[in-house]
């Protein structure tokens, strides 16, 4: 059993750690509240815009399709990996890294693949094995639609220039504070889905349907990327709050165990001292 000095030192260390994790939990909870409000308020708009675009695109003639919907033989692929700049968030970043590696090794094993990293943690790991086209860690310092639009425009231009035949986005979708869902979405070329509902559209278009679709596509792509980043931002704080909550509970449990061990060791030490005093007194009396 460790001596009393070692136990006291460990108790102090664990208590300090518990205070840090508890503080980080409260900070993440405050940030999560704002991030959650932001993503939940924009989701209906983003989903409706995507649905409208898909409905309209599916009704266009084949020869009037958008340049962003051009299907090419997939030879070069760009994977946009959205992670965080900081750790201590459980499996938040690990899940993204695993998903990207899985896509490269299984889905695109015979393709040329590069990574567009948004977030430091994924970049630090993936750059050791795969070519990184761009690493943008600063986007989370000021996560605005204007800043995200610049990245989306860059991705769209890369596709139009033929530098990549397909662009995918991998990110964590926010469900609740304890649950994040790894999402794998095709960014470009855009996908259209024809159904009975969009065959029966009865809209009046001004200007033409084609012009509206061509104007909506860039906006929809920008919104898709912005939603992914907002989702990831909220999911990060949820994951970190949960991780710090568990860490605080574990630290408290460890501290309690150490205190129990300390009290037992102290009691044993006092008992030994009493026995030594009694033994010495009896020797003198004898």
> For the segment 30-75, what is each residue's pLDDT rounded down to a tens digit?
999 999 999 999 989 988 888 777 777 666 655 445 788 888 899 9
Residues 182-210: tens digit of each pLDDT? 999 999 998 766 555 555 566 677 777 77
Residue 264 lies in a domain: no
Residue 269 lies in a domain: no
Residue 14 lies in a domain: no
Residues 280 and 282: their CA atoms lie apart, in Å, by: 5
**Average pLDDT, rounded, for the chain:** 88
Residue 2 lies in a domain: no
User: Of residues 55 and 246, which shows the higher confidence score?
Assistant: 246
User: Of residues 134 and 283, which shows the higher confidence score?
Assistant: 134
Q: Would you state the pLDDT for residue 195? A: 54
Residues 99 and 278: their CA atoms lie apart, in Å, by: 69
* DSSP SS3 for 127: coil
The lowest-confidence range among 7-21, 30-44, 103-117, 207-221 is: 207-221
The CATH number linked to 228 is 3.40.1380.10
Residues 113 and 150: their CA atoms lie apart, in Å, by: 22
Q: What is the residue whose two structure tokens read 């012009």?
A: 211
Residue 75 lies in a domain: yes
Residue 158 lies in a domain: yes
Q: Would you state the pLDDT for residue 2? A: 61
What's the maximum distance between 2 C-alpha atoms anywhere in the chain? 115
* DSSP SS3 for 81: strand
Q: Is the pLDDT of residue 120 over 80?
A: yes
- Within 10 angstroms of residue 104's Cβ, the number of other Cβ atoms is 19
Q: Would you state the pLDDT for residue 63? A: 47
Among residues 31, 14, 9, the alpha carbon closest in space to that of 248 is found at: 14
- Within 10 angstroms of residue 248's Cβ, the number of other Cβ atoms is 19
Residue 12 lies in a domain: no
| Domain ranges, residue 126 | 22-241
Tell me the angle at which helices 209-285 and 92-102 cross, rounded to the nearest 10 degrees.
Answer: 130
Band of residue 94 on the pLDDT scale cut at 50, 70, 90: very high
- Within 10 angstroms of residue 69's Cβ, the number of other Cβ atoms is 15
Mean pLDDT of 247-253: 95
User: Of residues 284 and 286, which shows the higher confidence score?
Assistant: 284
Q: Is the pLDDT of residue 132 over 50?
A: yes
Q: Would you state the pLDDT for residue 12? A: 94
Q: How many domains does the chain have?
A: 1
Residue 183 lies in a domain: yes
User: Of residues 70 and 255, which shows the higher confidence score?
Assistant: 255
Q: Would you state the pLDDT for residue 213? A: 78
Are 140 and 84 in contact by the 8 Å Cβ rule? The answer is yes
pTM of the model: 0.85
Q: Is the peptide bond before 207 cis (omega within 30 degrees of 0)?
A: yes
The burial of 93, by beta-carbon neighbours within 10 Å (0-12 exposed, 13-18 middle, 19 or more buried), is given as buried
Q: Would you state the pLDDT for residue 236? A: 96
Q: Which structure tokens are listed for 196?
A: 């009975």
Q: Is the pLDDT of residue 168 over 70?
A: yes
Are 232 and 171 in contact by the 8 Å Cβ rule? The answer is yes
What phi, psi does 56 have (nearest 5°)?
Answer: -70, -40
Provide the pairing of β-strand 166-176 with 76-82: parallel
Residues making up the chain, counted from first to last: 286
């Amino acid at each position: 059993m460790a001596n009393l000095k070692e136990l006291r030192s460990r108790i102090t260390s664990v208590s300090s750690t518990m205070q840090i994790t508890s503080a980080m939990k409260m900070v993440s909870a405050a940030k999560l509240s704002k991030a959650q409000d932001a993503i939940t308020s924009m989701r209906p708009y983003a989903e409706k815009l995507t649905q409208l675009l898909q409905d309209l695109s599916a009704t266009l003639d084949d020869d009037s399709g958008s340049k962003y919907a051009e299907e090419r033989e997939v030879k070069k692929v760009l994977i946009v990996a959205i992670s965080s700049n900081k750790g201590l968030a459980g499996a938040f970043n690990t899940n993204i890294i695993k998903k990207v590696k899985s896509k490269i090794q299984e889905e695109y094993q015979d393709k040329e693949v590069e990574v567009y990293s948004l977030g430091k943690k994924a970049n630090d790991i993936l750059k050791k094995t795969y070519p990184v086209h761009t690493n943008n860690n600063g986007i989370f310092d000021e996560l605005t639609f204007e800043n995200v639009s610049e990245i989306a425009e860059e991705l769209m231009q890369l596709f139009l220039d033929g530098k990549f035949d397909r662009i995918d986005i991998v990110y964590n979708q926010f469900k609740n504070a304890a649950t994040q869902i790894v999402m794998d979405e095709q960014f470009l070329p855009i996908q259209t889905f024809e159904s009975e509902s969009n065959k029966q559209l009865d809209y009046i278009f001004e200007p033409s349907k084609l012009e509206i679709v061509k104007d909506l596509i860039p906006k929809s792509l920008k919104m898709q990327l912005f939603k992914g980043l907002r989702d990831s931002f909220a999911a990060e704080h949820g994951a970190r709050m949960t991780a710090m909550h568990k860490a605080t509970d574990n630290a408290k449990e460890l501290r309690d165990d150490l205190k129990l061990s300390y009290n037992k060791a102290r009691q044993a030490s006092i008992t030994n001292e009493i026995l030594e005093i009694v033994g010495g007194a009896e020797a003198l009396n004898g």
